[in-house]
A and B are shown apart, each in its own frame.
Chain A
Amino acid sequence: MPRRTDLQKILIIGSGPIVIGQACEFDYSGTQACKALREEGYEVVLVNSNPATIMTDPEVADRTYIEPITTEMVAKVIAKERPQALLPTLGGQTGLNTAVNLAEKGVLKEFGVELIGAKLDAIKKAEDRSLFKSAMKHIGILVPESAYVRSYDEAMEVIEKISFPAIIRPSFTLGGTGGNAAYNIEEYREYIKVALETSPVHEVLVERSVLGWKEYELEVMRDLKDNVVIICSIENFDPMGVHTGDSITVAPAQTLTDVEYQAMRDAAIKIIREIGVETGGSNIQFAVNPENGEMLAIEMNPRVSRSSALASKATGFPIAKIAAKLAVGYALDEIPNDITRYTPACFEPTIDYCVVKVPRFNFEKFPDTDQTLTIHMKSVGEVMAMGRTFKEAIGKAIRSLESGRYGFEALWPSDSDKWTTEQKYDFLRVKLMIPNPDRLWYIADAMRFGMSLDEIYKWTHIDRWFLYNIKQVLDMEAEIRQECFAGRGERPFVPPSQAESEFNMDREMLTVAKQYGYSDKYLASLCNTEEKAVRVHRQKEAIRPVFKHVDTCAAEFKAFTPYLYSTYEGACEAEPTSKKKVIILGSGPNRIGQGIEFDYCCVHGVFALRELGYETIMVNCNPETVSTDYDTSDRLYFEPLTLEDVLEIVDTEKPEGVIVQFGGQTPLKLAIPLEKEGVRILGTSPEGIDIAEDRERFAALMNRLQLRQPDNGCARSATEAKVIACKIGYPVLLRPSYVLGGRAMRIVYDEAGLEEYITHAVRVSPEHPVLIDQFLEDAIEIDVDAVCDGKEVFIGGVMEHIEEAGIHSGDSACSLPPYSVGKDVIDELKKQTQIISLALNVVGLINIQYAIKDKIVYVLEVNPRASRTVPFVSKAIGIPLAKIATKVIMGKSLSELNVAMKREVQHTAVKEAVFPFIKFKGVDTILGPEMKSTGEVMGIDKDFGRAYAKSQMAADCSLPLTGAVFLSVRDKDKKPIVPIAKKLSHMGFKLVATHGTARMLSENNVPVTPVLKVIEGRPNIVDHIKSNEIQLVINTTGGKAAQEASYSIRRAALVHRVPYFTTLAGAMAATKAIEALKSGNLDVKPIQEYYRI
């Protein structure tokens, strides 16, 4: 069937900001879809609020709306653009839900928009539990038995049909309160009573538990001719009970016989047909009883998902691209397979390697929350690794994580050597039984401890095949230790500084170790030597990795796209070209502080290099990204970003140089080690990077340039800390010197606070000094992104933070252009940026953070690399900074590139951060110097108020136009809150406030109703929030005690989705936004129109 000719314009909805459960995989899928549809000559209209995406680049779609993804706003886009079709299956759950709402509200009908890919009925059948269940019954596919009960008697009836253990879930309780697993009838009786009481509607779902069953996923594609193919099977290492996003997963399925696999395949095909997803990819999950093979269907995603992205990267089959083509009428057999060229996409990829995905967690950012892994996803990113064996792949995945681990390091707590054997056993048992982010390493510890595979299986239900493979690695570890210390005698551990630079190992043993996935660094630590010693010996022995193709077909056909992974085996297929080429290092797994923004920059680096005629080589290990699409760069190495792995690639490719400044800290910290090994670093020199990163060198530079920094010092003992703090004057900003990214940063207001910090939060010692900075209270913080060619500086954007200095820049909203500082200050900032860039000899991107207090400019931080705000600035001003930087890095001058040096924007763009608080029980929502946001949105409009309003709406925090506002502010904010309160009151809001705030407002003639604090009795403010009587919360707090006392207010606001502001600046911005909203409706406008001057 040819493509449809009745469609000309197609709307695609993106997935919005990066949140837990919805990350860059939808940028990857959306970008592919836009490209595929435009290739076919369709006009593509895109809505996505996330500026850090490639899909929102003005060149990707014809009309790009960086607008909030709400039903209302998308309806406006539809009214304006009048697309004939909406493709809802490529923008994650957000895109799908929005499409469903638009359909249900009649918007699609009103404007004659057809849903393509999946119709409303199909989406509902897949998404609604009970519709799904009855659909499965209709085609004879088993699902876990379950039933809703509304009384004790009903519950007793239902349990006859549901076997134990039974899961009991009360309806409409938040965060799973009142839920339980009953293993016998006695427990069941008890838990049912509790659950019925807990549920506000007295309704409970009773479901058969499949905890501990094996979990599988199939990625299925269907076309309008009803051809169905399975792209990939995935087997979860962690059995049922852990969200698949939090599970280690492996492709293809490892422990199913063909009979079982084909039964699953048949079921998947039946399911996609019954649900009625017309075209495109779907993901279907199954649980299999390890005892008897019983198979149940668990759920279906009628859309491209995170697993689809993984499956695409794991097989080389571009699911999203093909899904888009199928949606407009092509059949699978009409689309060629890009990799093999001569065979069609209508086939099932077969792979000849093992793929392992490991999730990346960020629990250290949320120390108050429980780290148990459950059915709710908590990981923030993931890595994928490929090897010819599972052992090799998991070894590579571990070092890809960048968690400081390079193998199966032991995780015993420091005092465990005093434990009895029983204590140790119990410790391990708990760590194995309760799923947690470190379970993989505890399995290794359990093996070293002597626990048998059967025992480990008993506690984890992780398939013995996986356990056995880990055991093989650990058995080898024992052999390696023996070999290393043979003849030298067992010696006690010595710190790495005293390690030996000698390494020797039997050739065959070392070969096998490498085939088992051992990193040089871990081998070095096992043998008490340095990584370099292992590398030198290994290379001397000619034990080098080879690179093999990911080709969708297990080498049955020739591959034309160099998509490669390393392994220790016979033949190398890399076939490097003799073209002039450059390697770009990617940013690795998403994590808080290093996310999609850096992938965006890397991809732009690739685009720019290609424009300059270079062959581009990408190295990355994050399967969610656009950078790891095989057609983004000329050559893709899907590899860990460690020194060892990068050096081998460099040695194979012999590029002109390596670009490290786009991928965030990950490649940046490789700059000096790579340079030491003779690799040419392109752009700003490692020396320049080092000056900016090294505190003392940087301070010296600031002195020389006569620029101001906040007073600071470095304390190596508690006493010294107190002296320095006293000299600087409180409040001070404290942080450990050895941690990056704002980890464990804190502002303290007095010596008591300092005392608490250095005794409880961090240790201070000569090896681990604590950095102390003057904290500029109530200062305005400003970010500047610029490009420097060594002679000239192009200021991309000056962004004023909404939240005051002290809130991590990644967590603060910001406005471009600034909305409160004057031209004189901005000019001064530009001047300083120029001075610093030239002084550091920056070639490429630079980001500087300034604070302004009492009109004095302080330099807070200089990052001679791509910053998180590069995509935001680029979208706001319509100039692709990273691309320009790349060209500068390759030797072009700014004047040659003809960059409009002075570009005044006529609109305002506001960036707002998006937080994962709701996913972590027990976590406070107060912002501070440690970054906690996972993603960002952009609001763009003609003035600040509107742009800010849009940013809030896009961050799923729509501001109210009527209702009640709750105010409770710390003493120092009591005066400045008055004008804000007045304004709100004038706009018709009812004000409620706690005692102190209320008194201040009354004194200033602002009408206000006092309300009780939580400790003062009931009904208190939390009760009012829970009863939906409050529409906006403004709550600023001072000390720790006040924070703790008001914690439940913020948490209640969060859970009940009431917009809340914890800073005065935020409250002020919100008030301006409400004002703007009240003065007229919000309009939508494509980004392409903003750039036309």
Chain B
Amino acid sequence: MNKKRAILVLADGTSFPGYSLGSEGEAIGEVVFNTSMMGYQEILTDPSYKGQMVAMTYPLIGNYGINEKDSESHNPFLEGFIVKEYSPIPSNWRSQISLDEFLKNRGIVGIHGIDTRELTRKLRDCGAQQGIISTVDFDLSSLIKKIKSAPGLDGIDLVKTVTCDGLYEWKEPAPSGCIPKRYKVVVYDCGVKHNILRKLNSAGCSVTVVPAHTRSQTVLSMEPDGVVLSNGPGDPASVPYMLENIRGLLGKKPVFGICLGHQLLALTLGLRTYKLKFGHHGGNQPVMDLSTRKVEITAQNHSFAVTAPQEGTMQKSPFGSVEITHVNLNDKSVEGLKCLSIPAFSVQYHPEASPGPHDAGYLFERFIEMMKRQN
């Protein structure tokens, strides 16, 4: 077992000495915690974590190793990985390599052996903040200086660092027994998780992924039946070109926004966004569908959220009325939007789950229905 020392230091000077996991070196990012007990591989490969370092609140990580199929992108984009106890022995028939090897191969700096619960309480009480993991520098003031000189998340366009270079078709075969391809969907890749593509695919869509800077005219010229705005990292207010793109699509094609896509849709519709104290990162967030009053347990990963309208659940927009469709039962934050005059809706959480419960999978059906009605 790797007993090489490592240290995690937060911007406020709190330090957590531990041991090195994965690559050695130094990494800086906003430290957030994720409360999922399983699914570390999906979390590691979720591009929305760009700019962030993830602490797993579940203390035993690495138990089932890493396999080739459960990744949400080709690369881990997160800056660092923080766990209480790393298991050097992966025990699962699907496992191909250990977590440590994976992190080493992908150049991700990690730390294990720290009191992740205390870190979580700190972040909960004081809010998410920048931090640094180092296996080379153990000098507090030097480390804090490094943190201070690094840019934060606010106002930084991280989408451009994770979006694809060029357009591509999603080719991974859908599981057998799925309906034939009936709809053509374009997905704006702001850092898309592959399971969104898989879900669309198995719901009967042929999927084309385009980079975030693709103009709406280009997308419209592809004659899709609908457009999906994907999840992605960072502050929604820092990707103005996406708002431009969305404006060009609204009312013309059915639009479905997920996570960052939801925030971008909201901004386009004239709503505001704000930064949550420590975000929602986990697989147990209860969300109520206001139309059915039923609750779904959702997978979430976001640090920003949409500001609720001052009164009620309705808001006027240049594209007609916008309705709040879903709310988070824990903090009453906005979880879903629907345009009443045009075919567009979005959710703050992840209907594609991965990791997390599948309760919200019906939203893909809803999108399909929307495309069906437009045809």
Contacts and interface: CB of A to CB of B under 8 A. Distances in A.
A350 B329 contact: no
B267 interface: no
B93 A292 contact: yes
A257 B121 contact: no
B63 interface: yes
B117 A555 contact: yes
A349 B120 contact: no
A313 B364 CA distance: 37
A351 B41 contact: no
Contacts of B208: none
A389 B85 contact: yes
Interface in B72-91: 84-85, 87-89, 91
A352 B58 contact: yes
A388 interface: yes
Contact of B70 (A258, A350, A569): A258
Contacts of B295: 225, 227, 331-333, 346
Most buried by B among A258, A259, A343, A389: A258
Contacts of A261: 38
B92 A257 contact: yes
Interface stretch (A44-52, A91-99, A148-156, A461-469): A461-469
Given A256-B64, A347-B286, A350-B57, A553 B92 contact: no
Interface stretch (A247-255, A774-782, A1075-1083): A247-255
B333 interface: no
Contacts of B238: none
Contacts of B121: 555, 571, 573
Contact of A555 (B57, B88, B94): B57
B57 A571 contact: no
Contacts, number: 163
B26 interface: no
A258 B358 CA distance: 11
Nearest to A291: B93
Given A258-B38, A465-B87, A351 B58 contact: yes
B355 A554 contact: no
Contact of A255 (B36, B91, B294): B91
A354 interface: yes
Contacts of B354: 258-259
Nearest to B87: A465
Most buried by B among A332, A344, A558, A569: A569
Interface in A547-563: 548, 553-558
A331 B292 CA distance: 13
Interface in B329-347: 329-330
B70 A259 contact: yes
A255 B92 contact: yes
B278 to A, nearest CB: 8
B353 A229 contact: no
B124 interface: yes
A344 B354 CA distance: 24
Nearest to A572: B118
B152 interface: no
Contacts of A854: none
B356 A352 contact: no
B59 A256 contact: no
Interface string B33-48: 1011111011000000
B59 A354 contact: yes
A394 to B, nearest CB: 12
A266 B357 CA distance: 8
Interface string B357-368: 110000000000
A225 B296 CA distance: 11
B35 A556 contact: yes
A389 B36 contact: no
A347 B92 contact: no
Nearest to B43: A258
A265 interface: yes
Nearest to B91: A465
Nearest to A265: B357
A290 interface: yes
Contacts of A293: 93-94
A258 B46 CA distance: 14
A233 B36 CA distance: 13
B371 interface: no
B343 to A, nearest CB: 28
A471 to B, nearest CB: 9
A348 B120 CA distance: 18
Contacts of B114: 570
Contacts of B294: 225-227
Interface string B110-125: 0000111110110010
Interface in B15-69: 16, 33, 35-39, 41-42, 57-60, 63-64, 67, 69
A889 to B, nearest CB: 37
A343 B330 contact: yes
B216 interface: no
A262 B329 contact: no
B285 interface: yes
B297 interface: yes
A556 to B, nearest CB: 6
Given A257-B38, A346-B286, A465-B89, A352 B120 contact: yes
B84 A388 contact: yes
A347 B329 contact: yes
A390 B355 CA distance: 23
A262 B357 contact: yes
Contacts of B273: none
Contact of B329 (A260, A291, A344): A344
B131 to A, nearest CB: 16
A554 B117 contact: yes
A900 to B, nearest CB: 51
B233 interface: no
Given A257-B64, A346-B329, 11 more contacts: A254-B60, A258-B41, A258-B355, A265-B358, A342-B330, A351-B37, A468-B89, A553-B284, A555-B57, A556-B33, A557-B124
26 contacts: A227-B295, A233-B37, A255-B63, A255-B91, A256-B64, A257-B70, A258-B39, A258-B355, A259-B69, A262-B357, A293-B94, A332-B295, A344-B286, A344-B329, A346-B295, A348-B284, A351-B37, A352-B116, A354-B60, A464-B91, A465-B91, A555-B120, A556-B57, A556-B120, A556-B124, A570-B118
Q: 4 closest A-B pairs (Cβ-Cβ)? A: A258-B39, A570-B115, A258-B355, A465-B91
